[in-house]
Structure 1
Amino acid sequence: MPVVTEPVLEQGAKGEQVTKVQQLLAESGFYAGTLDGKFGPATRSAIERFQKHYSLPVTGTVDRTMIDTLQRAKGAPDRYRRVINMEASAYTSEDPGNGSYTYHGNQLRKGLVAVDPNVIPLGARLYIEGYGYAIADDTGGYIRGNRIDLAYENRGEALQFGRRTVSVYILD
């Protein structure tokens, strides 16, 4: 008989623990929303996608097993649909002409990237070498073909990344 663990967090919860779970979900490419510490429908949906992907019971709640799996999920993916070599640049909301929100209306932050939707569909989960897990959540005027723009928290991080060719793994 399987061991049932009590949920640590469930919808309606608030606080630092929820923010940490949201951050881990974002770092593993499952959550594009605001890291606000509020366990609402978007957080629950991300948890359910994560649970399904990692063959955990899909409960929409967070228990100890899920937290352990989240903490191990940061490495390079073992399953992906395809890999594309792309010219990558970096951007922030601090850059002239950029707004603070993505095409999908999420606050711009690391883990959200701009793509050409004809090459990578918006909403796709990605793993980008040298950057980590991300979600295709934005578009850009200069992002055409095999180009990708990686969001960063501040201009210094973006400038440090610069421009380079990266391998982009398109996940399930």
Structure 2
Amino acid sequence: MNGKQFVSIVALFILVLTAFASDGYSYNVVGDHGVSSTFGIKETKEGQRVVKKRTVSASSLTQVIDKADVFHEQYPKVRVVATGYYAGYESTGKNPSHPSYGITYSGVKVRRDDYSTIAADLRVFPLGTILYIPGYGYGVVADKGGAIRGHKIDLYFETKQDVFSQWGKKSVDVYIVKKGEGKVTEAFLNSLNEKGIAAMAEPVSGKQQTE
């Protein structure tokens, strides 16, 4: 890790702490048995056993991450046209009864999470590429589309209403966090989302776990 990366990570850490503090998140420990919450992780303490569960939504995390955009300046930036889409007929031509409904070109299921599935021109952004999209969050290229050519991407949302109310279509500068190597697995996506925003502060392995 070089000096610039270290400074960026420290700056991100401070900014994220500040953002959560301003949003009213706190940490409280009550004896040997109790419930505490820190940075969106709910911890249930039962003697020596601590059970952790994420309690912050993807949209909340996106709002916090957007306050730390300075961190992403270390990554290459490119201008794209980003369009929202969902798994339904209007976007994909498939109904819920279709056997491949909600399944991306890579084989993984669509998801809206800390790291969501997005579609791109695979000649520009290969499968597995991780992009940071201001106002949306992190997207992992897992799909492609016949109308997606060049510097265009499609951002997955869970419903048609979300597409129109939260995004629509816009030109935006995105940051290339990691260039993909042509593969995406459910295990890889699960690993990223289990780490959440903490995954930004560590190198993303080029080798993905297999199922």
Q: How far did 1:81 drift?
A: 3.4
8 Å CA contact 2:65–2:137 kept in 1: the answer is: no
Q: Following superposition of structure 1 onto structure 2, how do residues 128-147 of structure 1 map, counting pairs within 5 Å? A: 128-147=133-152
- Aligned CA-pair RMSD: 3.0
C-alpha distance 142-114 of structure 1, shift in aligned 2 (>3 A): same
Q: What do residues 23-65 of structure 1 show as CA deviations (whole Å, max 9, x unaligned)?
A: 77xx68xxxxxxxxxxxxxxxxxxxxxxxxxxxxxxxxxxxxx
Number of residues of Structure 1 aligned to a counterpart in Structure 2:
114
C-alpha distance 153-131 of structure 1, shift in aligned 2 (>3 A): same
2:80 aligned residue? 86
Q: How far did 1:73 drift?
A: 6.3
C-alpha distance 17-104 of structure 1, shift in aligned 2 (>3 A): farther
SS at match of 2:89: coil
> Percent sequence identity over matched residues?
32
8 Å CA contact 1:126–1:133 kept in 2: the answer is: yes
Q: Please say if 1:168 is aligned against 2:199.
A: no
1:155 aligned residue? 160
In structure 2, C-alpha distance between the alignment counterparts of 1:163 and 1:136, rounded to whole Å: 18
Q: How far did 1:153 drift?
A: 0.9
More helix by share: 2
The TM-score normalised by the length of structure 2 is 0.46
In structure 1, C-alpha distance between the alignment counterparts of 2:65 and 2:171, rounded to whole Å: 24
Rg (Cα) greater in structure: 2
Equivalent of 2:125, from 120, 132, 136? 120
The amino acid across from 1:168 in the alignment is: V
Could you tell me which runs of 5 or more consecutive residues in structure 1 were left unpaired when the two chains were aligned: 1-7, 9-15, 29-71
User: Which of structures 1 and 2 has the larger relative contact order (alpha carbons within 8 angstroms, sep 6+)?
Assistant: 1
SS at match of 1:157: helix
8 Å CA contact 1:130–1:166 kept in 2: the answer is: no
More strand by share: 2
The amino acid across from 1:116 in the alignment is: D
Q: How far did 1:105 drift?
A: 1.7
Could you tell me which runs of 5 or more consecutive residues in structure 2 were left unpaired when the two chains were aligned: 1-42, 44-50, 95-100, 179-211
